[in-house]
Structure 1
Amino acid sequence: MDFKGRADDLRLLNGQLSSVTAGIGGTRGRAVIVTGRRRVGKSRLVQEFCDRSGLPYVLFQATRGRNPAAERAEFVSAVTCSPFSGAELVSGFSATDWNQALRTASIAAGDDSPSVVVIDEVPWLVEQDSEFEGALQTIWDRHLSAKPVLLVLVGSDLSVMEALQTHGRPFFGRATKMTVRPLHLADVQEMTALPAAEAVDAQLVTGGFPEIVQSWEQGISRAEFFRKSFSNPLAPLLVAGELSLLGEFPESSRSRAVLEAIGSGERTYSAIAAQASSSGALPSGTLAPILNTLQNKRIVAADLPLSTNSDTKNKRYRIEDSYLRFWLACLERAIPLIERGRGDLAVKRVERSWTAWRGRAVEPLIRESLLRLLPDEQWAEVEAVGGWWNRQNNPEIDLVGADRAGVANAIRFVGSIKWLEERPFDRHDYDALARSVLAVPGTEMSTPLVAVSRSGAAADLPMAACWGPEDLVRAWR
Structure 2
Amino acid sequence: MAGFVGRVAELAALERHLAWVREGRGDQRGRALLLRGRRRVGKSRLVDVFCERSGVPYVVHQATRGEDQDRERARFLDEVLRSSLPDTDPLAGITGVGSWDTALRQLAAVLPDDSPSVVVLDELPWLIEGDPVFEGTLQTVWDRVLSRKPVLLVLIGSDLAMMEQLGAYGRPFHQRGVEMVLPPLSPHEVMRMTGLAPADALDAHLVTGGLPLVCQEWREGESRVDFLARSLDDPTSPLLVSGERMLAAEFPAAVRARQVLGVVGSGERTFSRIASAAGGEDRPLPPGSLNPVLRALVDKRLVAVDTPLSLRPGDRDRRYRVADSYLRFWLAFLESAIPEIERGRGRLVAEAVERGWPSWRGRAVEPVVREALSRLLPDERWPGVREVGGWWPRTNNPEVDLVGTDRAPARAIAFVGSVKWREQRPFDQRALAALARDTLAVPGADGDTPLIAVSRAGFTTEGLAAAYGPERLVEAWAP
TM range (shorter): over 0.9
**Quick check: 1:410 aligned with 2:427?**
no
Residue of structure 1 in register with 2:37 after alignment: 36
CA shift, 1:160, in A, is 2.7
Aligned 1:77-476 pairs, distance under 5 A: 77-93=78-94, 94-249=96-251, 253-278=255-280, 280-404=283-407, 406-458=408-460, 460-476=461-477
For structure 2, which runs of at least 5 residues remain unmatched after alignment?
Answer: none
Distance 2:287 2:304 in 1: 18
CA shift, 1:396, in A, is 0.8
CA shift, 1:250, in A, is 5.2
For structure 1, which runs of at least 5 residues remain unmatched after alignment?
Answer: none
Any conservation in 2 of the 1:79–1:104 contact (CA below 8 Å)? no
CA shift, 1:167, in A, is 2.6
What code does the residue aligned with 1:426 have? D
Distance 2:318 2:55 in 1: 49
Distance 1:385 1:27 in 2: 42
SS of corresponding position for 2:169: coil
Any conservation in 2 of the 1:257–1:277 contact (CA below 8 Å)? no
What code does the residue aligned with 2:419 have? I
CA shift, 1:21, in A, is 2.3
SS of corresponding position for 1:217: coil
CA shift, 1:124, in A, is 1.5
- More displaced stretch, 416-425 vs 271-280: 271-280
Change (3 A) 1:33 1:390: same
Distance 1:456 1:302 in 2: 30
**Quick check: 1:65 aligned with 2:89?**
no
- More displaced stretch, 106-115 vs 379-388: 106-115
SS of corresponding position for 1:466: strand
What code does the residue aligned with 1:72 have? R
SS of corresponding position for 1:360: helix
SS of corresponding position for 2:336: coil
Distance 2:254 2:63 in 1: 27
CA shift, 1:438, in A, is 2.2
Q: TM-score, normalised by structure 1?
A: 0.96
Superposition RMSD in Å? 1.7
CA shift, 1:455, in A, is 1.1
Alpha-carbon displacement from aligned partner over 1:42-67 (angstroms, at most 9, x marks no partner): 11111112122222111111112222
Distance 1:96 1:280 in 2: 51
Q: TM-score, normalised by structure 2?
A: 0.95
Distance 1:432 1:254 in 2: 41
- More displaced stretch, 447-456 vs 240-249: 240-249
Alpha-carbon displacement from aligned partner over 1:190-244 (angstroms, at most 9, x marks no partner): 1111111100110000111111111111111001011111211221111211222
What code does the residue aligned with 1:41 have? G
Distance 2:83 2:409 in 1: 53
CA shift, 1:252, in A, is 7.7
Distance 1:91 1:107 in 2: 13
**Quick check: 1:45 aligned with 2:31?**
no
Distance 2:213 2:432 in 1: 40
CA shift, 1:251, in A, is 8.3
Change (3 A) 1:450 1:173: same
Alpha-carbon displacement from aligned partner over 1:388-412 (angstroms, at most 9, x marks no partner): 11111111110111112x2122111
CA shift, 1:102, in A, is 0.7
- More displaced stretch, 198-207 vs 436-445: 436-445
- More displaced stretch, 191-200 vs 62-71: 62-71
Any conservation in 2 of the 1:274–1:282 contact (CA below 8 Å)? yes
Any conservation in 2 of the 1:126–1:132 contact (CA below 8 Å)? yes
Distance 1:378 1:180 in 2: 31
SS of corresponding position for 1:58: strand
What code does the residue aligned with 2:166 have? L
- More displaced stretch, 420-429 vs 333-342: 333-342
Change (3 A) 1:438 1:7: farther
- More displaced stretch, 211-220 vs 158-167: 158-167
User: Aligned pairs, how many?
Assistant: 475
Any conservation in 2 of the 1:86–1:107 contact (CA below 8 Å)? no
